Structure 1
């Protein structure tokens, strides 16, 4: 399973760090005056936009360069983006580099999971998928551990540079075992892939519903609940630990009962997590973090397994569609919530209320789309 753990390193870097290490940095960016609350939300939305572009380009990049070299490219872009953010060049500068970090994550997410699924034995695909997608949780936990230490040791520049170093170290270790699958399906083959409408709709709504915790959770802890930055980092580490548990469990459960049957359970947990974020009591937030990670990130492993059930050897095409729709949902809602957050005077209740409504929609679609 070396190939699965190597791919997990790619997901840890491109998603757990390049995308989500920003969450515990959000309140620090505002406190240091690098951006205001609305600008910080905009940086999160810009990262989502870059992620979408990376997902859409991932298949072509993988076909042209080969999956191992494409994974190298994604890791290199993540390092470059982190290093560039160490300079407070203003909102436009930071937005450009956060978008590049998102693109790196999109390339890595589009390629790593399907590549492993195509190279491991059938009976190990569920476990392998859980391991790969568990990389997101590993990266989130790592970010929760090191970001407060880096901030305390030298402020925001050191934090951004430290994250670049962390990705570089993962890259050195993981690239020796990059997955190298057969060529991805061409466009003609892609047109024959099942539509998977219910699965894609549920996953898209889940993605939109998870935008508030994926951008505003640490800020909710600090500026919404009055907790110190260390406590916010702990909440985010709980999100990461939940993500790791949710992906590993999701891979195993989906391997036994099927991804489409398992998905409603993960969506129900997501609804509970978003509801807890609206409870004005910090222990509820401490519980919402791990539950949100379990469901929102764990759903990736369940969806990956479901894509394999629906499309077989062409699962990579369904997965790229799912990941692209995930990105579209998060881009659109990310920018909308940034505007809402600014217009409501940084109201966490408003943005998390929207997330709860969308999560309820995801649960309804997943329940109706499960096999009989």
Structure 2
């Protein structure tokens, strides 16, 4: 099995963990909100539960890998994700749905991180970073699949969740043998988190995390409020997912070649502009352009942050610093949808898009500020950098 082909099969993990288990919820918000008589704040709280689960899963992954191995963590994370997706159709009780979405977030984090480690090892053996790029592009595949299927089932949201669970189950079967590593790395020292010299980047990352998730959570609500036809929703979501798949082609060179945080500032600035674009007009062309811009940028932000850490922090402290940044990211994306939902409840359904634009713009300004370099700069050319926790 070639490294690229293995990564393509492992990419079904990111397709399930993020594309289906996290982002597909945004397509179902309008129908679930209407049927279950939710407020926008309650709809946001469901996404917040998923983010909280991701935070818990990210914290637990290291211990789980040490106990069970990377391959087992990935495989059983996929199984739990599929069951949680299907289980979302089993109840209309708000508290139960909160719990199930939290489980999906936790298992999705395990899949995302463990699969990245497996893909990185395959890339290292192949001497190429292509498998890493292929692995993370799987997120877009899940978004495309959701966009092509869920809008037609939105009025029957239970059926849609069962379908998403079935798709994740099939993905589990297809990537099961691709997770075999034949090796496990023993745990070691993780170093010290170097947060003080990177405080501007850390704050920018937190703002991004709190901002980006509200756009994709409430985009379908925004479209429904403007009576967009199903065809427009389908096209918008599909184009967004396709842009995620294409993003590595657009950003890999700036992220790996530009010094400092220039690439991060640019990506955040473009993301903010793309989110704001949808506020200018409700026309399908403008909204689709906004969605494409969003899709082409949001997954590039974690990659740019990871690349900068690898150039600004001594190698011995990479793991601890990345873990600290992951905690910031998970916290931001946990509170973002809830706050965005409250804002929308008291203003309009355009507010979450404005929230994304404002927070990402502020993050871009912070990222553009000079950052003191670390003591051991080096270009992020090693395939292993992309395998770190996003």
Q: CA separation in 2, counterparts of 1:10 and 1:259?
A: 31
Q: CA separation in 2, counterparts of 1:61 and 1:117?
A: 18
Deviation per residue, 1:263-310 (Å, 9 max, x gap): 222112111112113223323211110111111122233334334444
Contact map agreement 2:19 2:143 (CA 8 A) in 1: yes
Tell whether 2:111 aligns with 1:100.
no
Partner of 1:327: 330
**TM-score, scaled to structure 2:** 0.84
Aligned CA distance change for structure 1 residues 178 and 260 (closer, same or farther; 3 Å): farther
* Structure 2 counterparts to residues 292-331 of structure 1, below 5 A: 292-309=294-311, 310=313, 312=315, 315-331=318-334
CA drift at 1:11: 1.0
Contact map agreement 1:273 1:291 (CA 8 A) in 2: yes
Contact map agreement 1:23 1:217 (CA 8 A) in 2: yes
* Structure 2 counterparts to residues 200-349 of structure 1, below 5 A: 200-223=202-225, 225-257=226-258, 260-282=261-283, 283-309=285-311, 310=313, 312=315, 315-344=318-347, 347-349=348-350
Contact map agreement 2:190 2:319 (CA 8 A) in 1: no
Contact map agreement 2:57 2:108 (CA 8 A) in 1: yes
Unaligned runs of 5+ in 1: none
Indicate the larger mover: 253-262 or 276-285: 253-262
Aligned CA distance change for structure 1 residues 314 and 221 (closer, same or farther; 3 Å): same
Unaligned runs of 5+ in 2: 374-390
CA drift at 1:126: 4.2
Q: CA separation in 2, counterparts of 1:45 and 1:25?
A: 15
CA drift at 1:144: 0.6
Q: CA separation in 2, counterparts of 1:218 and 1:56?
A: 31
CA drift at 1:232: 1.8
Aligned CA distance change for structure 1 residues 79 and 73 (closer, same or farther; 3 Å): same
Aligned CA distance change for structure 1 residues 4 and 48 (closer, same or farther; 3 Å): same
Indicate the larger mover: 7-16 or 189-198: 189-198
Tell whether 2:148 aligns with 1:145.
yes
Deviation per residue, 1:140-185 (Å, 9 max, x gap): 1111112134447xx2222111111101111111121126364265
Which residue, 41, 57, 61 being the options, matches 2:60? 57
Q: CA separation in 1, counterparts of 2:308 and 2:293?
A: 21
Q: CA separation in 2, counterparts of 1:20 and 1:326?
A: 16
Deviation per residue, 1:205-238 (Å, 9 max, x gap): 2212202212101111111x22023322321222
Contact map agreement 1:129 1:305 (CA 8 A) in 2: no
Contact map agreement 1:206 1:358 (CA 8 A) in 2: yes
**TM-score, scaled to structure 1:** 0.88
Indicate the larger mover: 296-305 or 21-30: 296-305
CA drift at 1:112: 2.5
Which residue, 6, 9, 12 being the options, matches 2:12? 9
Aligned CA distance change for structure 1 residues 332 and 44 (closer, same or farther; 3 Å): same
Contact map agreement 2:51 2:333 (CA 8 A) in 1: yes
Say what the alpha-carbon RMSD is for the aligned residues: 2.6
Tell whether 2:118 aligns with 1:86.
no
Aligned CA distance change for structure 1 residues 247 and 207 (closer, same or farther; 3 Å): farther
* Structure 2 counterparts to residues 45-194 of structure 1, below 5 A: 45-121=48-124, 126-151=129-154, 155-178=156-179, 180=181, 182-183=184-185, 185-186=187-188, 189-192=189-192, 194=194
Aligned CA distance change for structure 1 residues 314 and 248 (closer, same or farther; 3 Å): farther
